[in-house]
Structure formats: C-alpha cells, structure tokens
Structure 1
Amino acid sequence: MYVAARSIGSSWLQRVRHRSVTWITSRSLVRAVPTHVPGRVSLLGKGLVLSSLSLLAIQSYRWKSKHAVVYASIKVEDVKEQADYLYGSGETEKLYEFLSQYKDSEDPEILWRMSRASRDLSLLGKISSDEKKRLVYESYNFAKKAMEINESCSAAHKWLAISLSDVGDYEGIKVKVGNAYHIKDHFQRAIQLNPKDATSIHLLGLWCYSFADLSWYQVKIAAALFATPPSSTFEEALIYFEKAEEVDPNFYSKNLLYLGKSFLKLKNKELAVLWLHKAKDYPARTEEDKEVHKEATQMLKSLGEKV
C-alpha cells in the first residue's frame, strides 16, 4: 500500500478564489514498503549474478542474445526496488537523483515512478518557483509517456491525473476546469485497472467532494467557462470514501476526515461524529496527520462533542 507524506493541495473552491484549482491530496497517500536495503543501482547479490552471466555470455552469441532480456528484466526490477525503498524512506532528493539516470527509459513502471519523484521534489520548500514549474511539467510528461506506452498501467493513470491537476495551476482557470474531466477519467481508469488501490478511490472521492462543495458564485464562474461544467454530489463523494475504507481500513487520516465531513454535509451527525473521532485519534505520523487531527478536533468541538 502506498502512503505519501505531503498534501497536494486544498479544495477546488479555495483555489478558484486564487485563480487555480487543486483536487488531489498528498504524498502521504502513496508509499511503498521496502523489502530490503539496497546499496547502489545494482544490488550486491544480483550484481554478482549479472557479472557471471556476462562472462558466460562471451561463449556464445546465441546464448547472449537469449539472456539479454533476462538481464534487462533483472535491472528494471532492481531499479524499481531501489526507487521504492528510497520513496518509503522519504529520501526525496536521493530518489530523484537516482531515477534521473533512467529518464529516457521506455518502461512505464520506471516512468510513473519518475513522475512521482518529480512531483514530490517540486513540493519541497527550498525549491524555487521556476524549478517547481519545471518539475511539475516534467512530472506530467513522465506520467503521460508511461500511460501512452502502457494504457493498462493503473499507476500511470493515477499520476497522470495528479500531475494534470498540478499543470493546470500554470495554465489558467479555463484549462484547469477543462482538465477536471480528464482528471476524473484517469482516476476512474486507474480504479478500473486496480480496484484495490485505495489511494485512487480516495482521490476520486475528493474530486467529487470538491465540486459538490462549490458555492453558487463559483458554479457561475465555471458555467461561464463551460456550458456543462464538472459537477458532483456529496452522496457520490461518500461512496468513494467508504469504498476506500472498505478496500484498506484506516489507510489514510484524510479519508477518515472526509467521511466525517461528507456525513455532516448529508445531515447525519451521528456518523459524522463517529468518523471525525476516528480521524482525531489517527496516529499523527506526518504533518498532514497533525493537520487532520486539528481540523477534526475543531469540528467536533463545534458540534458540541467532548474531545
């Protein structure tokens, strides 16, 4: 299960006020669990195996040709394993530097990881505005290439949706709103390809919640740009938040928070309080978890609950 560490942004209605729109939430969403600690690009054990194969390959061109695919396959697996370890360890800069060696790869599994790494690096506070913009577009291009190479890669669709939302911040409101349709499509395709991906399910729920929560004047702004602007309901959002929880219980503090917020929007105070308490009690492992704890606590107090 992937879990990320930083928030991708605030709700759509908040971004409209600042001439940008963001639907997605956080690097706390996507984290891989490492199987062991690799050293350099070639792991020690597998590196020795590859060296042996290379020596034996000299004996026969036919033998060499036959095992070239095996070598490539092993190396790709090594790269993925190393990348996932660095990602799970929160080594954002090292991960980006490591994957940059493979930026010309044609393997979608490496490309979507490169998209994720570029985006994560863009979120670091010390990154300049110009560098952030470059990384945002780079992230989009990697995800797009991964999806074009393998349309059936669920992660490629997920990261294309996320990066597409980020790119919209530099393209203006009309492009941002127009991209919303494509963002939803890619999340839906990601879920279709991997029904057990709680992250994509949650993000689609957040997309629905954001558009359901638009005020009347924000709806008018969107309608002025498109004859049929994106829209949704809190009922639809709730379906995805509940589904994410069903697939992976307590996988993400923000999913618990939005379950509470959705039930509150639907006037079901009892269930809203239940999920808000769960969000408040979620272990605060990241800064985002702390923010969720704070918001859930404030909402419970406003509802007259003891916290």
Structure 2
Amino acid sequence: MQVLRKSLQRGVVLSTGTFLVYEAHKLISGFAEVHASFKVEEVIEQADYLYGSGETEKLYQQLLQHKNSDDAELLWRLARASRDLAQLSSTSAEEKRQLAYEALEYAKKALEKNESNFAAHKWYAICLSDVGDFEGIKTKIGNAIVIKEHFQRAIELNPKDATTIHLIGIWCYSFAEMPWYQRKIAATLFATPPTSTFQEALHYFHMAEEADPNFYSKNLLFLGKTYLKLNNKKMALLWLSKAKEYPAHTEEDKQVQKEALELLNSI
C-alpha cells in the first residue's frame, strides 16, 4: 500500500488515464518478476526434496512441466530425472532409449542457457555417454573426448564436486582397461584415439576422496580395483575392505559390497 500511495502522489503530474496504465503495468510487472523468481526457487526446492527421497517418477513428472524453461538449474535437474527414470528396472527397453535421448536434449539446453553452470556440463557428459550405448562403438569412442572435456570443465567450475572427479576416474579406468579389439577399432577410426592409464584413474579416485572423504561406495571399490590392476595388493586390500564395510543405503551399495567381497576372496 505504501508503494501504491507513493505512486499515487507521483501520478498527480500525469493525466489520469496515462497514470493508471503506467502504474498498473509497473506494479504487475514487478509482482510478476518476484513471483517468477520465487516459483523457480520453489520448484527447485521441491525437486531436490523429491530427489533426496528417491521419488524418481514423481520428480520426473514435476520437472517435465518446466521442459520449456530458460532456467539451467531446472533443465539439468530434468536431464538427471529423465536419466534416473531410464535406469529403473521397471522401465522398458524402448522407454530407456527414449529417455536417454530426452535427457541429453535437456542437458544440452541447460548448457545453452548457462555455459557457466557446472552441473549442466556434468550431466551433459553423463547423458552423452548414455546415448553412446545406443549408437555403437564408433560413436561412443568419438564422443569420449567431448565427454572428458565437459567433466573437466565441470571440475574447473566446481572443484569440490567429488562425483564429477570420480566420473573422470571411471572414464580413465575404462580406457585403460579397453580390450585390444576396441583399441584396434579406435586406431583405425581416429587419428588420435582417446587413451588413459590406471595411474591416471587412480589420481582422480584419490582426488575425489580428498574433495569429499567416504562420499561414495563405488569410489572406494574402484580405488581397490585400480590398485589390483597396478599389482599393489596391500593398498587393494585396504580400499576393498572399506568398500565392503560401507553402509548399504542403496541397491548400488549392495552390489559394491558384493563385488568387493568377491575381489577380497580372490586375492
């Protein structure tokens, strides 16, 4: 009311009609801006709550209403939700494929809206990797360099995000472990095919632990697996034991415990 009263006082110098149109437009525009800003924050808060609660389908449906948004924070969350829905065992093979491409489009749009958003880079890289599973070895290897570049850009923008650092470690581990026939295909298709070493993978897995100690059972497992690849059984035992003892909060944690135990028994 005070804002309106001040506006009315200023309006004396304007004609009545001009004043009413001008002030109504100004007030409505101001309220609309505040409301739009508040709404985005509210949607993000609700989305993060649903994500933390594991409400995958509900989260996807909620965020899908905002697929035409210009907000990168909403779009990368929608990309993540689409991907998470694709990962569910109840999702059909055709739906998995559709959701993978959908997720990539949302992540791409998030990047277009805000190139400085670390999560947009992170989820674009993850979704691009997923799509490679449907397009064959040539596309997958061809995308690999782009994927690593986006992970590295995400880390530059947020050096404390342990998950992204872990994912670069997985990237390195995968190429260090690449079978000879895939290396041969890569060498014939690309002048300089992507390569890595177990030492490089180890560097990133340790870097992830430094950023956020004990944050993820799979990082502990891969520290153990990488040390095994490097024939350091003492360190492999240490990290595999940590992975085995990690509290199982998710299905993935249970799978990690199982694999860690099998590897420990094989040493």
Q: Structure 2-normalised TM-score?
A: 0.89
Letter in 2 for 1:299: L
Letter in 1 for 2:200: E
Post-superposition offset of 1:266:
1.7
Which of 239, 248, 253 pairs up with 2:212? 248
Give 1:155's aligned residue: 119
Matched, 1:87 2:57: no
Matched, 1:285 2:257: no
Letter in 2 for 1:93: E
Letter in 2 for 1:161: A
SS of 2:247's equivalent? Answer: coil
Moved more, 292-301 or 156-165: 292-301
Give 1:203's aligned residue: 167
Separation (CA, whole Å) in 2 of partners of 1:300 and 1:171: 36
Structure 1 gap ranges (5+):
1-58
Residue pairs, 1:63-212, within 5 angstroms: 63-212=27-176
Structure 1 residues 110-163: Cα deviation after superposition (integer angstroms, max 9, x where no partner): 000000111111122222222221111110000000001100000001110011
Give 1:266's aligned residue: 230
Separation (CA, whole Å) in 2 of partners of 1:281 and 1:126: 29
Q: What is the aligned-residue RMSD (CA, Å)? A: 1.4
Moved over 4 A (4+): none
Separation (CA, whole Å) in 2 of partners of 1:234 and 1:285: 28
Letter in 1 for 2:31: H
Structure 1 residues 231-266: Cα deviation after superposition (integer angstroms, max 9, x where no partner): 001111111100110111110001001111112222
Which of 192, 195, 218 pairs up with 1:228? 192
Letter in 1 for 2:177: D
Letter in 2 for 1:170: F
Moved more, 258-267 or 134-143: 258-267
Structure 2 gap ranges (5+):
1-22
Separation (CA, whole Å) in 1 of partners of 2:92 and 2:232: 44
Structure having the larger proportion of residues in helix: 2
Which structure has more relative contact order (CA 8 Å, sep 6+)? It is 1
Separation (CA, whole Å) in 2 of partners of 1:69 and 1:224: 55
Residue pairs, 1:41-52, within 5 angstroms: none
Post-superposition offset of 1:211:
0.3
SS of 1:102's equivalent? Answer: coil
Separation (CA, whole Å) in 2 of partners of 1:142 and 1:231: 29
Letter in 2 for 1:119: R
Post-superposition offset of 1:295:
1.1
Letter in 1 for 2:220: L
Post-superposition offset of 1:69:
2.1
Q: Kindly tell me the number of residue pairs found equivalent between the two proteins.
A: 246
